[in-house]
Amino acid sequence: MKKRWLVVNSVIVFACLLTIWSRVVAFAHVPVYILPGPRAVADAIRDRYPSLLGSLWITTGEAAAGLVASIMVGVAIAMTFAQWRGLRQLGFPYTILLQTVPIVAIAPLIINWVGAGILAVSVVTFIICLAPIIANTTQGLISVDENLIHLFLMYKATPAQILFKLRLPNALPNLFTGIRISAGISVIGGLTGELFAGSTRVGEGGLGYAIVYANNQMETAYLFALVFAATVLGFSFFFIVMFLEWLTLHNWHESSRPQMAE
Amino acid sequence: MVTENKGSIPEIALEGVSKRFRNASVALKGISLTIDRGEFVTFLGPSGCGKSTLLKLVSGLSPVSEGTLRINGMTPENARDLISFIFQDATLLPWRTVEHNVELGLELEHAARAARKERVARMLELVSLSHVAKHYPRQLSGGMKMRASIARALVSRPRILLMDEPFAALDEMTRDRLNEELLRLYNEQKWTVLFVTHSVAEAVFLSTRVIILAAHPGRVAQEISINLPWPRTAETRESEAFEEHVTHASRLLRGVYQP
């Protein structure tokens, strides 16, 4: 019952916001290239949805590729950190470095290396998604109850068995925390990358590229449509990850239940 | 089961065993003990007397600093196959169901799958957990978790059981019932048990011998044989002999607590 009320209330709030927006625009006679009303944005979505979907599709691919690559590489790095303490102490500071380096500053460099286009954008996304995955997964891999390690040692478990049957499952909740953070910023990474290296051909860029283009052309209504698409993309990523997390953890982990219930 | 020439090789033998930690504190000093096959030995003593450390030494998880420790003539590291360790927390893997938790040891030893399933099922029946075989640990009560932990320890057919305050976190009723069930299994399977507890009543009820340790440094202070009749049941706790043993042990233990 409570859930249904929440849905109804959310719809009402959204409708109110749209109404206020459209009234303000109409009342104050704001020109459409400064702030289009919701109607103008909806028209832009309807009229230009093929190119909108095209851009959305490109950005989705770039962000997903970068995210998936960062998960695979990040988990692999975290596993080596967990297995060799010395390596962790030497390597971990660079993870923080990775997190603090301004991506805007190195994006041109990446384009220099791999050339403009989808690959460059994926690499940018990969770089900004990597640090949260490494940091969280490493934390989960090394914070195993000492008695559980003892238990495995009593069974003469090999290091590989301890890693795969104890540390890795133990790190799953942390890994998902990392993926959730990275899923959010992967879309930002995609957009940022595209600002620099969106396309090699006109009309074939992703959302970030199209936003710059629309802004230059003063197509503000379409720009709003693009922002809306980017927001929807970020949301979808987040919820897909939440769903996968729930699928994996809801049987046994405390964190996954209340979160989904909220 | 092989009948052994009792007395030739003791099941567990400690000679002048000491344990120093890296920070130079002495946890155990000059412990000499002989434990025969099938004994149920309980260690009582103030915190800091090295009870848990002693179990760690016997399990081989922690090396002896001085003296010799032999299990059936072998070093603890070589005797791991004979030993199961039960910790204070149930230490179940939360991502595994009860049956898969119990199966863990057999799985790590690469035992055949069919044999594994059968032994796990039989073990769960033995500790009355068959009805929750597919449940996850978070769905179980503290007592059930501990039963699962015991099942996991017993499924690999140990000769020696090391139990480090296994029932300390449970309420008294649950603890008493698990004590009785533990003895029922002990009488069937005849392991050698080294048990650590803070409860005098529990020590007396379970053991054939109670060893009282003193602290700083940890050393053997007193030994008491418990010659209560077998089988021991809930009624045993109401007997006069039981009361006398508890009183006696408590008095000796008080002596150790005084500075």
Query: What pLDDT band is residue B102 in, cutting at 50, 70 and 90?
Result: very high
- φ, ψ at B223 (rounded to 5°): -130, 135
Band (pLDDT 50/70/90 cuts) for residue A232 is: very high
The three-state DSSP-derived secondary structure of B69-109 is: EEECCECCCCCHHHEEEECCCCCCCCCCCHHHHHHHHHHHC
Question: What are the chain B neighbours of A250 within 8 Å (beta carbons)?
Answer: none
Residue A138 has pLDDT above 90, yes or no: yes
Q: What is the pLDDT of residue B8?
A: 72
What digits encode the pLDDT tens for the residues A184-227?
Answer: 899 988 888 888 775 555 456 788 888 888 888 888 999 999 99
Ranges of each domain in chain A? 1-30, 40-261
Residue % of chain A over a pLDDT of 90: 49
Would you mind telling me the total number of residues written for chain A in this entry? 262
Higher pLDDT, B165 or B3: B165
pLDDT at residue number A253: 82
Q: Give the residue-averaged pLDDT of A90-104.
A: 84
Nearest 10 degrees: Cα torsion A59, A62, A66, A67? 40
Q: In the numeric block, which tokens belong to residue A2?
A: 């409570």
Q: CB A175: neighbour CB atoms within 10 A?
A: 23
User: What is the pLDDT at residue A259?
Assistant: 43
A214 touches A223 (CB < 8 A): yes
pLDDT at B48 over 60: yes
Query: At A173, is the pLDDT very low, low, confident or very high (cuts 50, 70, 90)?
Result: very high
Which residue of chain A comes nearest to B152, CA vs CA? A151
Asked if residue B84 lies in contact with residue B158, where contact means CB atoms within 8 angstroms, the answer is yes
**A253–B105 CB contact, under 8 Å:** no
pLDDT tops 90 at residue A73? yes
Residue B48: left if φ>0, alpha if ψ -120 to 50, beta else—which one? left
* B141-155 mean pLDDT: 91
User: Helix axis angle, A220-249 relative to A49-83, nearest 10°?
Assistant: 40
Residue type, B79: A
CB neighbour class for B139 (10 Å; exposed up to 12, middle 13-18, buried from 19): middle
Q: Which residues have CB under 8 Å from B26's CB, separation 6+?
A: B18, B19, B20, B217, B218
Question: What residues of chain A lie within 8 A of the CB of B109, using their CB?
Answer: 155-156
Give pTM, 2 decimals.
Answer: 0.83
Span of B3-17, B129-143, B186-200 with lowest mean pLDDT: B3-17
DSSP annotation string for B121-144: HHHHHHTT-GGGTTS-GGGS-HHH
* Tokens 């008491």 belong to residue: B224
Q: Does A157 touch chain B (CB under 8 A)?
A: yes
Nearest-by-CA chain A residue for B87 = A147
Can you tell me the distance from the alpha carbon of B90 to that of B69, in angstroms, rounded to the nearest whole number? 27
Quick one: closest CA in A to B162, which residue?
A: A154
What's the CA gap between B56 and B63, in Å, rounded?
8
From the list B187, B186, B177, the residue with the least C-alpha distance to B128 is: B177
Average pLDDT, chain B: 87
Residue of chain B with shortest Cα separation from A250: B95
Task: Give A261's pLDDT tier (boundaries 50, 70, 90).
Answer: very low
Closest CA to A233 of A178, A196, A189: A189
Chains A and B: how many Cβ contacts under 8 Å? 52
Q: Are B235 and B180 in contact (CB under 8 A)?
A: no
Which token pair is A227?
């922002």
Q: Which domains does chain B have, with CATH numbers?
A: 12-91+158-257 (3.40.50.300)
Q: Which residues of A touch B85 (CB under 8 A)?
A: 150-151, 154
Distance from CA of A2 to the nearest CA of B (A): 26
> What is the topology classification, in CATH, of domain A40-261?
MetI-like fold (1.10.3720)
Contact A148 B93 (CB under 8 A): yes
| Helices (runs of H) and strands (runs of E) counted in chain A | 12, 0
Of A147, A251, A252, which has the smallest distance from its Cβ to B91's Cβ? A147
pLDDT tens track for B202-215: 999 999 999 998 88
DSSP H helical ranges for chain B: 51-59, 98-108, 113-126, 142-154, 172-189, 200-206, 240-257
Q: For residue B54, is pLDDT > 80?
A: yes
Q: Is the confidence metric ipTM above 0.85 for this complex?
A: yes
What is the tens place of the pLDDT at every residue in A111-129?
888 888 888 889 999 999 9
What's the rounded mean pLDDT across residues A7-26? Answer: 92
* Confidence band, pLDDT 50/70/90 cuts, at residue A1: low
**Pairing, β B12-20 against β B26-35:** antiparallel
